[in-house]
Amino acid sequence: MKVLANDGISKSGIDALEKGGFEVISVKVAQSQLENYINQHNIDAIIVRSATQVRQELIEACPSIKLIGRAGVGLDNIDVAYAEDNGLHVINTPEASSSSVAELVFAHLLGSVRFLHSSNREMPLEGDTRFKELKKAYARGTELRGKTIGILGFGKIGQEVAKIAIGLGMKVLATDNEIPSAPITLEFFNGQKITFTIATVDKEELLKESDFITLHTPAQDDYIITASEIERMKDGVGIINTSRGGILHEVDLVKALENGKVQFAGLDVYETEPTPAVQLLMNPEISLTPHIGAGTNEAQERIGIELANQIIELLG
């Protein structure tokens, strides 16, 4: 059987699939050429990330496809219901990248409360001529210990965020329509571990009480954070979005940054990827990364192996 890893897969994933008797093709096929390529090469399974779209039209036109794999969590670029209704397997890797995304949340958060995103722009330009002024400007940082983080969406990634927050001495509030509570287990270097049970709260309490808010929901039909929600947050709140573009209203965010309601934001995802709005890219109060939440070597290894194991089990 042939597997097309159109957006790539780790070597460990390729090795596992080949050991299981599959032929892995890891060329990048343009979206417009995908139908012809799949049919010409009689592809049995396709693995994608967020770039490749697997919509109803493609599924209809490619009868050889038996499985669609998403190297990540979200499935919004795949017509899942249609695929499953027509007998295709749709798989993803909901746990493999959780730690990587959670760590990126705190990369943005730790950097922002100490102004690293701004000072790293200023120091190369003026560090030798305005050192004392820059020191004064950036010497009013904030510690995370004792502060409250609000986790909006308490699935696997949200729970990993909670683990790091607890380790830093933060208070944790979480909200989720489907999860009333979750056990959070911290494992330490010496083999010891401790488990906390965190009960979720309603969204209004989270908005009102959190010093920082991080978003971890699936793709939505509409925004979940707009000017209305921002108005109910604490003055000087920080907002992090490493989840999906289109759940945080970017125009409302920029206005809130300009009027001081929001102190800073950290963004890894954008409404208009791959061309984020210029007003975001140029805003000095936003810490920016180019959708790299799952982009660690360790996460890609776990994703590749997890996908390979599922494909071998389902199609082998």
pLDDT of 66-111, one tens digit each? 999 999 887 889 999 999 999 999 999 988 999 999 999 999 999 9
Active site members: 244, 273, 291
Co-location of 249 and 137 in the same domain: yes
198-202, 232-236, 294-298: the lowest-pLDDT one: 294-298
Q: Are 134 and 298 in contact (CB under 8 A)?
A: no
In this prediction, residue 51 has a pLDDT band, given cuts at 50, 70 and 90, of: confident
In the chain the beta strands, taken as DSSP E runs, fall at 2-5, 23-25, 45-48, 67-70, 89-91, 148-152, 171-175, 181-187, 193-199, 212-215, 237-241, 262-267, 286-288
The one-letter amino acid code at 297 reads: N
- Non-local (6+) Cβ contacts of 66 within 8 A are 44, 45, 87, 88, 89, 315
Dist. CA 231–CA 178, nearest whole Å: 25
CA angle 289, 224, 211 (to 5 degrees): 65
Co-location of 131 and 275 in the same domain: yes
Q: What's the pLDDT tens digit per position in 4-23?
A: 999 999 999 999 999 999 99
Co-location of 69 and 176 in the same domain: no
Q: Which two tokens stand for residue 268?
A: 């890894």
Co-location of 25 and 137 in the same domain: no
Co-location of 71 and 132 in the same domain: no
Co-location of 42 and 80 in the same domain: yes
Q: What is the CA radius of gyration of the chain?
A: 22
Dist. CA 16–CA 45, nearest whole Å: 15
Dist. CA 76–CA 108, nearest whole Å: 25
Q: Are 9 and 297 in contact (CB under 8 A)?
A: no
> How many domains does one find in the chain?
2
Q: What pLDDT is recorded for position 18?
A: 96
> If you average pLDDT over residues 156-172, what whole number do you get?
97
Co-location of 110 and 225 in the same domain: yes
Q: Which two tokens stand for residue 165?
A: 């927050």
Name the residue range of residue 164's domain. 98-288
- Helices then strands, counting H and E runs in the chain, come out as 13, 13
Co-location of 144 and 230 in the same domain: yes
- Non-local (6+) Cβ contacts of 32 within 8 A are none
% of the chain beyond a pLDDT of 70? 100
> If you average pLDDT over residues 220-244, what whole number do you get?
96
User: Is the pLDDT reported for residue 180 higher than 90?
Assistant: yes
Q: What's the pLDDT tens digit per position in 292-315?
A: 999 999 999 999 999 999 999 999
Co-location of 134 and 275 in the same domain: yes
Across the strands, what pairs with 213?
Answer: 150, 239
Co-location of 135 and 225 in the same domain: yes
| Distances in whole angstroms, Cα of residue 307 to Cα of each of 3, 12, 17, 86, 248 | 11, 11, 9, 21, 30
Dist. CA 156–CA 162, nearest whole Å: 10
Co-location of 185 and 115 in the same domain: yes
> If you average pLDDT over residues 60-70, what whole number do you get?
97
Co-location of 178 and 283 in the same domain: yes
Q: What pLDDT is recorded for position 21?
A: 96
Alpha-carbon torsion angle 56, 61, 62, 68, nearest 10: -10
Name the average pLDDT for the chain: 96
CATH at 80 = 3.40.50.720
Q: What pLDDT is recorded for position 221?
A: 87
